[in-house]
Amino acid sequence: MVTMQPRSRAAERSAVRSTVALVGFFGIAFLVAAFGSAVSAPAIDGWYADTPKPMWNPPNALFGPVWTILYSAMSVAAWLVWRSPASEARRRALSIYVAQLMINAVWTPAFFGLGSVVGVAGIWVALVIIVVLDFMVLAAIIRFAEVSKPAAALLIPYWFWVLFATTLNAAIAVLAV
The predicted-structure confidence for 72-123, as pLDDT tens digits, reads as follows 999 999 999 999 999 999 999 999 999 999 999 999 999 998 888 888 999 9
6 sits in the region (left: phi over 0; alpha: psi -120 to 50; else beta) called beta
Classified as helix, coil or strand, 95 is helix
119 sits in the region (left: phi over 0; alpha: psi -120 to 50; else beta) called left
Cα(79)–Cα(13) distance, integer angstroms: 17
Q: Provide the pLDDT for residue 146.
A: 98
Q: What burial class does residue 51 get, using C-beta atoms within 10 Å of its C-beta: 0-12 exposed, 13-18 middle, 19+ buried?
A: middle
Q: Provide the pLDDT for residue 13.
A: 79
Q: Provide the pLDDT for residue 172.
A: 96
| 3: pLDDT strictly greater than 70 | no
- In this structure, which long-range contacts are made by residues 54-61, counting pairs with CB atoms below 8 Å and at least 24 apart in sequence? 54/167, 54/168, 54/171, 54/172, 54/175, 56/167, 56/168, 56/171, 57/168, 57/171, 57/172
Q: What burial class does residue 120 get, using C-beta atoms within 10 Å of its C-beta: 0-12 exposed, 13-18 middle, 19+ buried?
A: middle
DSSP 111: I
Helices assigned H by DSSP within 2-119: 9-44, 47-50, 60-83, 88-108, 115-118
Cα(104)–Cα(36) distance, integer angstroms: 9
**Number of alpha carbons in the 13 Å side-chain half-sphere of residue 46:** 13
pTM (global) more than 0.85? yes
Model confidence over 7-64: pLDDT tens digits?
Answer: 687 777 788 888 899 999 999 999 999 998 888 888 888 889 989 999 999 999 999 9
Q: Which of 115, 112, 110, 146 is nearest to 128 (CA)?
A: 110
